[in-house]
Amino acid sequence: MLDAQALAWLRERLRLGADTASTVAQLRQHGYSEAAIIAGFEAVRPRGNALANGAMQSLPLIRRAPPNLRRLENPRVDLFTLEDFLSRGECARLIALAGHHLKPSTVSENDDPGREFRSSTTAYIGHLKSPAATAVDAKICRTLGIHAQYSEGIQAQRYDVGQQFKPHWDAFEPGSEAFQRFGGVRGNRTWTFMVYLNEDMEGGATRFTELDIAVRPKTGMALLWNNLNADGSPNLATQHCGEPVTRGHKVIITKWFRVHGDGPVLDESGSGARAGS
């Protein structure tokens, strides 16, 4: 059996969206048997399902429709911008925090296509005990209207000149190794909530390649979309890329939400007219 400390560690790993294969390997290194590891996962795995009763199709933020929320009209995807989600001061603090923890970005697929596919650097600021990161993480959940138990920890990415993230989906392909490693317990990614922390660059737009929609970075603006169809399958129209930065640099934070969590899915306590306030 996993002891209380190991169970708490495992629960936190699942909350952050960590690689299941890496998690299992670390438990093995600490001498836990396969039976104990399986029992541990069963003990802490979340039981709730965000796809039940169509919760992901009718979020509190969208129903509130604050004036700074704008839908990018396309029948194939639920895609929105949210102006002034973060203040310039909040953005500056997050840029400074991320700057101390940046490492080369990775991709979830086992056959990593390499640095040319995703050439940014990433800081897992959701793993830190930082008041700035904790406050923004909670603000994203409260604004979107999904409880934190159905989310991953936030990440920051920095793109310097020439760096990019080629076309990809945020959702994992069902049945793939990536799904087993990253979605086998928490389920697939539902909504993506991304915030631009600066705008003083050239290039760096987020382009939805199947929709011919490109969004330019704007300080404090969030870009959010639903990665799944109503039946829970990946919406292939959400394929997107981060275009190469041609001058300056781009910094963003990203938070993903998941199918499985504990307790109620939706949080109706979000504030009123301006979701970014």
List, as one string, the DSSP characters of 37-64.
HHHHHHHHS--EETTGGGGGGS-HHHHH
User: For residue 274, is it within any domain?
Assistant: no
User: Is the same domain home to 159 and 244?
Assistant: yes
Regions of the chain short of the pLDDT cut 50: 109-112, 114, 272-277
pTM score, whole prediction: 0.91
What pLDDT was estimated at residue 258?
Answer: 96
For residue 8, what are the domain limits?
A: 4-44
User: Is the same domain home to 38 and 164?
Assistant: no
What is the rounded CA–CA span in Å between residue 106 and residue 63?
35
**CATH number, position 84:** 2.60.120.620
Helix 4-16 vs helix 20-29: angle between axes, to the nearest 10 degrees? 160
User: For residue 235, is it within any domain?
Assistant: yes
User: Is the same domain home to 11 and 59?
Assistant: no
What pLDDT was estimated at residue 245?
Answer: 97
Only one residue has tokens 């438990």, namely 27
Indicate the SS3 state at residue 29.
helix
DSSP 144: H
How many Cα atoms occupy the beta-carbon half-sphere of 233 within 13 Å? 3
CB 119 within 8 A of CB 163: yes
User: Is the same domain home to 139 and 254?
Assistant: yes
What pLDDT was estimated at residue 276?
Answer: 42
Rg (C-alpha) for the chain, rounded Å, is 18
Q: How many domains does the chain have?
A: 2
User: Is the same domain home to 177 and 109?
Assistant: yes
User: Is the same domain home to 103 and 200?
Assistant: yes
Q: How many helices (H) and strands (E) does the chain have?
A: 7, 16
User: Is the same domain home to 26 and 78?
Assistant: no
